[in-house]
Structure 1
Amino acid sequence: MTEIYTATLDRIVDGQTAVLLLEEDGETVDQLNVDVARLPSESQHEGAVLEIVVEASELCEAEYLPEVTQSRKETAQGRLDRLSKRLSGQD
């Protein structure tokens, strides 16, 4: 069965294995470990968001989504900024 997921590169282990968190409807539903060299070169960093095609638990295709990656990075930074302001305001 062929499935399409949005995936976030969670981490790279030993410089070779990419740990992808697979998402459906905004929720993490599974994890897939792949050789980092199978991913597009521009997506070989933590936090990269990709659209992937998986068949029989194997990565078939991967497309980097730079706009989604940047948007998520900005959202996360905004949360951190708000949290740090809240904490610093409680002196």
Structure 2
Amino acid sequence: MTETYIATLDRIVDGQTAVLLLEENGKTVDQLDVDVTKLPPEAQHEGAVLEIAVEAGEFCDAEYRPDATQSRKESAQERLDRLSTKLSDRDR
């Protein structure tokens, strides 16, 4: 049975192993290590969001989700901006 997950490329180890964090309902539920060359070329970077297919615990396929990747990047930047603003306000 093939399962589908949203996954985020957390990091690339030794330039060849992509560490994917698998999500269900917005929460990380598992990790899957995949040869980075099995991912679409445009998704071979940290923070990339993909929809992946897994069968019997093995990676089958991945589709890059550029809109989700951009949205998460912007959301993370907004959080950092808010935190840095709050810290700078404390210095006054």
* TM-score normalised by length of structure 2: 0.98
Cα displacement string for residues 25-77 of structure 1 (whole angstroms, at most 9, x for unaligned residues)? 00000000000000000000000000000001111110000000000000000
Query: Quick one: percent identity of the two aligned structures?
Result: 76
- Other structure's SS at 1:62 match: strand
- Other structure's SS at 1:89 match: helix
Q: Hey, which bits of structure 1, 4+ residues long, moved more than 6 A? A: none
Residue number in structure 1 paired with 2:27: 27
Q: How does 1:64-83 map to 2 (within 5 A)?
A: 64-83=64-83
Q: In the aligned structure 1, how far is the partner of 2:39 from the partner of 2:49?
A: 11
- For 1:57, the aligned partner's letter is G
Shift of 1:85: 0.3
Residue number in structure 2 paired with 1:56: 56
Q: In the aligned structure 2, how far is the partner of 1:44 from the partner of 1:58?
A: 19
Q: In the aligned structure 2, how far is the partner of 1:48 from the partner of 1:57?
A: 21
Residue number in structure 1 paired with 2:36: 36
Residue number in structure 1 paired with 2:45: 45
- Other structure's SS at 2:37 match: helix
Q: In the aligned structure 1, how far is the partner of 2:83 from the partner of 2:36?
A: 33
Residue number in structure 2 paired with 1:11: 11
Q: CA RMSD in A?
A: 0.4
